[in-house]
A = this chain, B = another copy of it.
């Protein structure tokens, strides 16, 4: 009887990019918004953004709120993240041109102006790197203790002739990751927990549009997604279940740096489950693999691109890790191991 009296409340896990979050979003938001009249790729798709036909192109629209803590971390800050996050969501839908971004900043009273200036400089630098202008914005201030420092929402619009979805994998397709995984999440975790570490462990946060756009025009990408919250495991689960395929991952082929491997082992966290902010997962037909790898590896951001898996018709929605000694199922994470990772 007591459970009926317990008021249901939002949990941190529901912000973690995994199954718990998908449950909250599907139950609360998707059902009702999806019922509104709209002719295009909308909320029901739960893709990286929405898309609307505009003549012979698609207009892509996406948004992300950035609540990362700490706001300055090895390899980046909340400003760089907020530009890259939205640029990358546009790129994942196949946008070859960023039309413009919005920037909605929410500040806590007392937030240091010099930190704000540093964040702003970082946003502008990322905009230049991505050839993506911020064209409109909004500023709000909340009282002390009403918000933890700063939160930045960005939305963006882009254009493409070739819309790419996250649900087009077919059996036989190969899975490519554009580089080393787990760096963003573990760099943030190490910083937050004050873990000193010898060697390089910095976030991979970067705008991927210059890496992805050349592929969109010249090759066939069957599905694409950036493995942010919930990491590669969560993104692949979503791609596999939407596409109705299973994915067999070759563990030895997954690019992991020694730094990520050792911090991951120290913290007991699998890099497959950790957020990235400068990587993409691509589904590619077997015949196109060499062409795609060549294009990716010609760009610094993709120089460590690797084929890490193969789609199969068995066990649709499952990710199977081939360790070289046997196979095991990769669980869909319930949520990111650490909240406020992006």
Q: Which residues of A are in contact with B by a Cβ distance under 8 Å? A: 7-16, 21, 24-25, 28-29, 32-33, 35-38, 40, 42-43, 49-50, 52, 54-55, 59, 61-65, 67, 69, 99-100, 102-114, 116-117, 120-121, 123-124, 127-128, 131, 133-143, 145-148, 151, 153, 155, 157, 339-340
Bound-state Cα–Cα, A14 to B105, Å: 12
List, in ascending order, chain B residues with CB within 8 A of A339's CB: 141-143
Of all chain B residues, which has the CB nearest A99?
Answer: B52
List, in ascending order, chain B residues with CB within 8 A of A42's CB: 100, 133, 135-136
The A interface, classified by DSSP as helix, strand, loop or mixed, is: mixed
- Within the complex, the shortest CB–CB distance from A88 to chain B, in Å, comes to 13
Bound-state Cα–Cα, A16 to B14, Å: 32
Per a CB cutoff under 8 Å, which of B11, B12, B49, B104 touches A63? B104
A40 touches B135 (CB 8 A): yes
List, in ascending order, chain B residues with CB within 8 A of A138's CB: 63-65, 153
Q: Decide: A29 near B108, CB < 8 A? Known: A15-B141, A36-B134, A61-B135.
A: no
List, in ascending order, chain B residues with CB within 8 A of A99's CB: 52, 59, 61
- Within the complex, the shortest CB–CB distance from A156 to chain B, in Å, comes to 9
Bound-state Cα–Cα, A16 to B164, Å: 41
The listed residue with most B CB atoms (<10 A of its CB), out of A16, A104, A117, A148, is A104
B142 touches A50 (CB 8 A): no
A43 touches B137 (CB 8 A): yes
Bound-state Cα–Cα, A340 to B106, Å: 11
B65 touches A121 (CB 8 A): no
